[in-house]
């Protein structure tokens, strides 16, 4: 994990406006069970690029599975779908009562 964190910090330092490194840093934080930090990185990635659907879906999962915040999980799942996200779209629509 330390090598991944170091590489991602370097990537963020070199190009602080690309969302991929922030999304991947969120994944590192999930592996370390640092869920609040993970959510912060995912949401930052989604702000850097509004089409960063993967990051907003990751935030929804973190809030729903690890942070016990169904309201935020629902908000981010809807945001993911509104951005045109397709992964598990049918399941998410059913869960949100929209499909």
Element (DSSP H or E) covering residue 65: none
DSSP 19-49: HHHHHHHHHHHHHTT-HHHHHHHHHHHHHH-
**Cβ pair 52, 21 in contact under 8 A:** no
* Alpha carbons 93 and 61: distance in angstroms, whole number: 15
In this prediction, residue 65 carries a pLDDT of 94
Q: Which fold has domain 2-95?
A: 1.25.40
Q: Does position 10 have pLDDT exceeding 80, yes or no? A: yes
Residue 81: is its pLDDT beyond 70? yes
User: What pLDDT, on a 0 to 100 scale, did the predictor assign at position 99?
Assistant: 59
Give 29-73 pLDDT, tens digit per residue. 999 999 999 999 999 999 998 777 999 999 999 999 999 999 999
What was the pLDDT predicted at 58?
A: 96
pLDDT attached to residue 42:
97
């Amino acid at each position: 994990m330390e090598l991944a964190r170091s590489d991602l910090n370097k990537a963020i330092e070199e190009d602080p406006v690309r969302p991929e490194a922030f999304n991947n840093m969120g994944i590192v934080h999930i592996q370390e069970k640092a869920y609040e930090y993970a959510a912060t990185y995912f949401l930052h990635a989604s702000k850097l690029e509004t089409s960063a659907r993967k990051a907003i879906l990751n935030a929804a999962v973190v809030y729903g599975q690890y942070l016990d915040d169904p309201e935020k999980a629902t908000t981010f799942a809807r945001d993911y779908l509104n951005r045109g996200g397709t992964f598990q779209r049918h399941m998410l629509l059913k869960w949100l009562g929209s499909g």
